[in-house]
Structure 1
Amino acid sequence: MLEFDYVIVGAGSAGCVLADRLTRCGRLKVLLIESGGSDARFWVKVPLGYAINVSNPAVNWGYQTARDPGLNARSISWPRGRLIGGSSSINAMAYLRGLAQDFDDWGAAGADGWDWATARAVFDRMETHSELTEQGRKKRGDGPVWVSDLTDQMAAFSQNFLMAAQDLGYAVIPDHNAPGSDGIGYYRSTVRHGLRWSSADAFLRPALKRPNLRVVRNAEVRHLLGEGRAVNGVLYDHKGKAQTATAHREVILCAGAINSPKLLQLSGIGPADLLQRHGIKVRHDLPQVGRGLQDHLALSYQFQSRTPTLNRTLGRRLGRLQAGVKYILTRKGPLAVPVNQVGGFVRSGEEDRLPTIQLYFNPVSYGVSAKGKTIVDRASGYQISAQPCRPTSRGTIEIASADPKAAPVIKPNSLSTAEDQRTAIEACNVLQRFAQSESLRAVTQQAKGPDPLAMDDAALLDDFRERASTVYHPTCTCRMGRTGAESVLDGRLRVHGVPGLRVVDASAFPNITSGNTNAPTMMLAMRAADLILEDAR
């Protein structure tokens, strides 16, 4: 049996942060358990490799949702990272803090100490920005998370998206994370020197040099150990053998919004009726474990272009070869830039108090094969996408059996509220306006597939139900709150009524943030480390 001060389950966006922060003092022994393998893979490190990683079973869990009534009873693919770095090693690398109101809402929901002023200070401490200025590239900040302005490497066609925004009266902004970030601009990305800069790169790599950190890869945790309600260790499989690890201080789940509630339920912590149905002894009846699931949904439209786009390069074998050679020699070119080049937050109407829609614009068109492989079109094209920022629908994560190897049942419950149906239509209306803008009409040949300009609101909602898909942002399934009746965690991320156990990952969000969730997940983990060390003292 192995003994440590802390056992962390999951080396993803949050787990890597904790492994670094908890071992810095040198006094605390930490075990980090990861179900996947190494992130030292070419297509993991190449920014444009996102399209390959998202369908590669070697690096993700490959989850599928249950048939979702709100999406015409479709089952949707929900890839989640299963390797060092977790989903930060396979995501699209867009770095967005979210809106200030998102975090003030966390505090209002009962997550004491998580308002915007507190979150902003952690973001500032966490980030280093590599910015383009008239005097050249400059560095701002000295945190471990590298956020790069890649404007100088964006496709020439992407300028059309910015001009279209100006046609429609939207502000064109230089940084989505600056105050007053309503508007459209080039996305900033977790890329450093032409390579993906994951949470593993930012936090875990430096920590691996410390003798008080042990990392076990390709190890799957079965369930949590302890006496009564208290948790003091884990049982996990590694190299064909069952092993135990004891935590003298705490076990910290960082397994993500799907696997953290799954592990709690397998360990007898969750809704009593669910646990009893699967023959699991109830250690603590905590009804909100796995409840409250929120995710972002987006719908995309593609168009064939009269002017060259990235299809001229990526849609042809010779072009791909040339781009590959350029990348290997210089770490620049099309492969060095993530898929989402332009976008931002906009309001669907003047009466909206906050931005309601996030946009993604890509200077390339493509299809997806039956096996999930991305196939870039030979002819030039582009894609425009929109997601409602703040959905109100809530879904569930539930174990399917007492077998730890069985995938859980994911029920997103999409578009189950009238408000979400309305904002889905508004998101499509925004895309209609962009498609009609002077700057995009000037370069557009015709729609590829469904044409948003040929649809009224009812048809747009039908199309959203038929084709919209996840943006890979599951959250809130172990959310923070005031009591065990309404939440899973307190404001210090401790599981209500379970000594020795915390959950630190996107499942802890009380509400989904308005934008991409990787940045707020790392922020949450960095502040969690402060709280854990405070409590240890």
Structure 2
Amino acid sequence: MVDYIIVGAGSAGCVLANRLSADPAVQVTLLEAGGKDSSFLYHMPAGLLGLMRSGKGNWNYESIPQPGLNNRTVYFPRGKVLGGSSSINGLVVSRGNAGDYDHWAQCGNQGWSYADCLPYFKKLEDYPGGNPEYRGTGGPVGVTLTPPPEHMTPIARAWIEGGLQAGFPFNPDVNGPNPYGMAQMQANFVGGVRRSAADAYLKPARARPNLRVITGALVKRVVLQAGRATGVEYIQGGQTKFLPAAREVILSGGVINSPQVLQLSGIGAAEDITPHGIAMQHELPGVGRNLRDHIAISHKQRITKPYSMLSALKPLATLKAVAQYLLFHSGPTATSGLEAWAHLNSRPGLEYPDIQMYCVLLMYNDHGRDIIPEEGFMTALNGCRPESTGTVKIRSADPTVHPEIDPKFFSAPNDIRVLRDGLKIAREIVAQKSFDDFRGTEFAPGASATSDADLDAYIRANAATLYHPVGTCKMGSDDMAVVDSSLRVRGVDALRVADASIMPNIISGNTNFPTMMIGEKAADMILGKHA
């Protein structure tokens, strides 16, 4: 029997496995449905495009048809490999805004204000040269700042300069006190190697005799006895196995898998569980509700000079770049390809930014699976605090059947307004003097798209997830809360959830670093430590 079972080796699960097993007297088992992160694509910063195009290390989910998106289904990638989504994402280092976490605390989640979370953000990172009041050094996850504007690619340099010419300020550190403004990208790679949660947290702990990592292990359910989690059933190699837990079961499967496991275990809303022949164990109506996600749209711009990444994707160039990386960990694939971004306001009077923008040095559709063969770049943008909320519900008692994912994109009308305003800002930036030497014609939405109705039609036809879903096991004390402020599942003993699903509201940034922060904070809660 082990002390702690952790379900899911993603951004939070790897952190927990490291921190809980640091005590040699504690036995920890980490279960991961995916495989090992052995391919170089998981470690090469530019491997994210190949991973997305191949679907490798990915659950490859699809949403149900979305009325707000012309009844399109939406590709919904989630990591299925050691490191989870931190092994396949865009390596963006982002915390969001201090107000996001203060709002969590204001909703009754004591201990989750920004001041409470900041020590854990600092603990997990190594960012030399940052303001020590806000940034950490010596942590497991190395952070690299992309080159200063004078050393950037011409597109990224012109994009930041264009923002300044449009009247937006330059921000030297979006993970400092305020993210507002044009900025250089910060990414979690060092020396040409991705610092995923698996690389930064799990790899250093693998040699510990008290930590067991089991891959290819799909959890069927949490086993309950007299209202207490006593272990899990999981499938490996076609066989169902039982693993008992002496202290706790911790679900870190992520925003889709954690509510799925709870529902398969008979924990959730009866209407989601009993139709599949599963016996109810504990009524918690909020399980699988409150799904929130950043939905994104891209402004695509042709250019008249060969400044994009297009030539690097030609077969011979790709082979050369990969060889250079494998031999020397250098060259064009040793970086993520993201150099510049911004956090801006869609309208005056906002407390903090509600739009994120990324300068992408290539034009593509369908999550990079359809490269547009023209010289150009994109301003990918998303609303930071969407109001639309959706659901995750099991379709079957069979854990191999993907759950029904319904983000209900644009069910809140303001969400499409924010993206529309973001497209207008992107056009404003590209219209500045900094692009005069190589600005071509607009690829999309296109010069003919001038009215709000035109832009809305473009958004509905093309918007897609930016891979930041949260909230399906939300933290709180109201009737729809799934976990309390200590991340314990309400009404069930010895069972916690620790991943992005516990966020009561979506943050105004990317979710990888906040999820690792949750893992760090959860470990201290479990061990009875203070920040």
CA deviation profile, 1:162-203 (whole Å, cap 9, x unmatched) = 111111111122221112321111211010110111001111
Query: Which residue identity does 1:392 align to in structure 2?
Result: E
What secondary structure does 1:226 align onto? strand
Q: Which residue of 2 aligns with 1:296?
A: 294
For 1:530 and 1:365, the matched residues in 2 are separated by 43
- The answer on 1:520 being equivalent to 2:496 is no
- The answer on 1:481 being equivalent to 2:481 is no
Q: Which residue of 1 aligns with 2:379?
A: 384
For 1:451 and 1:529, the matched residues in 2 are separated by 50
CA deviation profile, 1:4-46 (whole Å, cap 9, x unmatched) = 0000000010000000000112111001000011101111111
Q: Which residue of 2 aligns with 1:43?
A: 41
Q: Which residue of 2 aligns with 1:490?
A: 484
Q: Which residue of 2 aligns with 1:142?
A: 138
Q: How many residues get paired? A: 525
Q: Give me the TM-score of the superposition, normalised by structure 2.
A: 0.95
Confirm or deny: 8 A CA contact 2:123 2:136 kept in the other structure.
Answer: no
Q: Quick check: 402-411 or 325-334, which moved more?
A: 325-334
Query: Which residue identity does 1:409 align to in structure 2?
Result: E
CA deviation profile, 1:461-511 (whole Å, cap 9, x unmatched) = 12111101000111000010014x121000000000011100000000011
- Cα distance, 1:349 vs structure 2: 2.3
1:429 paired residue among 418, 424, 433: 424
Confirm or deny: 8 A CA contact 1:130 1:149 kept in the other structure.
Answer: no
- Cα distance, 1:428 vs structure 2: 2.0
Q: Which residue of 1 aligns with 2:230?
A: 232
- Cα distance, 1:454 vs structure 2: 3.1
Q: Percent same amino acid among aligned pairs?
A: 38
For 1:308 and 1:156, the matched residues in 2 are separated by 10
- The answer on 1:504 being equivalent to 2:498 is yes
- The answer on 1:270 being equivalent to 2:265 is no
Confirm or deny: 8 A CA contact 1:59 1:82 kept in the other structure.
Answer: yes
Q: Quick check: 408-417 or 180-189, which moved more?
A: 180-189
Q: Quick check: 501-510 or 331-340, which moved more?
A: 331-340
Confirm or deny: 8 A CA contact 2:92 2:186 kept in the other structure.
Answer: yes
2:459 paired residue among 444, 460, 464: 464
Q: Quick check: 487-496 or 447-456, which moved more?
A: 447-456
Confirm or deny: 8 A CA contact 1:111 1:510 kept in the other structure.
Answer: no
Query: Which residue identity does 2:400 align to in structure 1?
Result: K
- Cα distance, 1:344 vs structure 2: 2.0
The change in CA–CA distance for 1:457 and 1:373 in structure 2 (over 3 A counts) is closer
What secondary structure does 1:164 align onto? helix
Confirm or deny: 8 A CA contact 1:311 1:378 kept in the other structure.
Answer: no
For 1:281 and 1:524, the matched residues in 2 are separated by 31
Q: Which residue of 2 aligns with 1:326?
A: 324
Query: Which residue identity does 1:150 align to in structure 2?
Result: T
For 1:338 and 1:452, the matched residues in 2 are separated by 31
CA deviation profile, 1:434-480 (whole Å, cap 9, x unmatched) = 23222235421112243267321121112111101000111000010
Q: Quick check: 173-182 or 512-521, which moved more?
A: 173-182
Confirm or deny: 8 A CA contact 2:130 2:136 kept in the other structure.
Answer: no
For 1:502 and 1:470, the matched residues in 2 are separated by 27
Specify every segment of 5 or more residues in structure 1 that has no aligned partner in the other structure, as ranges. 134-138
CA deviation profile, 1:43-101 (whole Å, cap 9, x unmatched) = 11111111121243441111000001111111000111101000000000000011000
CA deviation profile, 1:151-170 (whole Å, cap 9, x unmatched) = 16743331011111111111
- Cα distance, 1:251 vs structure 2: 0.2
- Cα distance, 1:130 vs structure 2: 4.9
Q: Which residue of 1 aligns with 2:359?
A: 361
Confirm or deny: 8 A CA contact 2:264 2:399 kept in the other structure.
Answer: yes
Give the alignment's Cα RMSD to 1 decimal: 2.0
- The answer on 1:176 being equivalent to 2:170 is no
Q: Give me the TM-score of the superposition, normalised by structure 1.
A: 0.94
For 2:422 and 2:66, the matched residues in 1 are separated by 20
For 2:205 and 2:136, the matched residues in 1 are separated by 23
What secondary structure does 2:169 align onto? coil
Q: Which residue of 1 aligns with 2:90?
A: 92
For 2:338 and 2:302, the matched residues in 1 are separated by 18
1:409 paired residue among 390, 404, 408: 404
What secondary structure does 1:524 align onto? helix
CA deviation profile, 1:197-255 (whole Å, cap 9, x unmatched) = 10011111111121110110111111111213221100011122211111111000000
For 1:48 and 1:154, the matched residues in 2 are separated by 16
1:447 paired residue among 442, 449, 463: 442
2:307 paired residue among 302, 306, 309: 309
The change in CA–CA distance for 1:202 and 1:28 in structure 2 (over 3 A counts) is same
For 2:68 and 2:374, the matched residues in 1 are separated by 34
Query: Which residue identity does 1:508 align to in structure 2?
Result: I
What secondary structure does 2:473 align onto? coil
1:348 paired residue among 346, 349, 368: 346
Confirm or deny: 8 A CA contact 1:315 1:376 kept in the other structure.
Answer: no
- Cα distance, 1:527 vs structure 2: 0.5
For 1:140 and 1:415, the matched residues in 2 are separated by 37
Query: Which residue identity does 1:366 align to in structure 2?
Result: Y
- Cα distance, 1:314 vs structure 2: 1.6
Specify every segment of 5 or more residues in structure 2 that has no aligned partner in the other structure, as ranges. none
- Cα distance, 1:329 vs structure 2: 4.0
Query: Which residue identity does 1:401 align to in structure 2?
Result: S
For 1:529 and 1:195, the matched residues in 2 are separated by 26
Confirm or deny: 8 A CA contact 2:28 2:210 kept in the other structure.
Answer: yes
For 1:402 and 1:251, the matched residues in 2 are separated by 20
Confirm or deny: 8 A CA contact 2:299 2:427 kept in the other structure.
Answer: no
Confirm or deny: 8 A CA contact 1:131 1:140 kept in the other structure.
Answer: no
Q: Which residue of 2 aligns with 1:136?
A: none
What secondary structure does 1:527 align onto? helix
Query: Which residue identity does 1:218 align to in structure 2?
Result: G
For 1:18 and 1:281, the matched residues in 2 are separated by 30
